[in-house]
Amino acid sequence: MVILPAIDLKDGQAVRLTEGLMQTAKIYSNEPYEVAKRFQELGSEWLHVVDLNGAFKGEPENLEQIKKIRNNTDLKIELGGGVRDEDTIKMYLDLGVDRVILGSVALKDPEFVKKMAQKYKHKIALGIDAKDGYVAVQGWAQVSQKKAVDFAKEFQNTDIEVIIATDISKDGTLSGINIAFVKEIQEASGLDVIASGGVKDINDIKIAVNNEIYGIIIGKAFYEGTIDLKEAFKLVKER
């Protein structure tokens, strides 16, 4: 299993939100790249980055901080938030981002996402963010009529290899992951799924490992000190 520590960018700072609400933003660092360096020191191979401003605006908004993270670490970076066209995908890949997450655009134009995955292969991932089981887009500000599980099914037998599945009601709450939701997405799509939202402590890592989940994102649990990342990496290695 892969552990991906997370950095959410808002106005150039590393923040965490609660249930995706921008007004709940809590600032943890004015220099996000330093947080990324710390993740690398603790043993991380991957980093999950979200451009929160970009997610709302529909175009990149924290480019300078993303460049700093790329230039100051050897981490593999997956990035989402505000990626709506191929030019933005190419720009991020040229910067050295390893995997670009397509979320809002996937609901609007699933064929575009399938085409990008066919062209860029493992460098494209699908983001499915759900509120009460329904897909939410535009920085989670809009909830669609599309069920997340039905949406996941649409990407069976495509070039998409990885889905990042977020239960918005769990995000930033430290209330434990929604393993049932993650497994539903995994079974519906037949793809590798990275669980996002709600991680509290080492028990959530054990749950994900025991359920053979491909990956898990750790955000607020690290920043609030409810999980020891070194212990989490050690557990995954041993399994």
Active-site residues, by number, are 8, 129
Phi then psi for 176, rounded to 5 degrees?
95, 150
Residue 9's DSSP bridge partners are 14, 51
Q: Rounded distance, CA 112 to CA 105, Å?
A: 8
Q: Rounded distance, CA 47 to CA 104, Å?
A: 21
Mapping DSSP onto H, E and C, the string for 71-104 reads HHCCCEEEEECCCCCHHHHHHHHHHCCCEEEECH
Q: What is the dihedral of CA 65, 77, 148, 83, to 10 degrees?
A: 50
Could you tell me what percentage of the chain is helix, strand and coil, using 3-state DSSP and rounding each to the nearest 5? 40, 30, 30
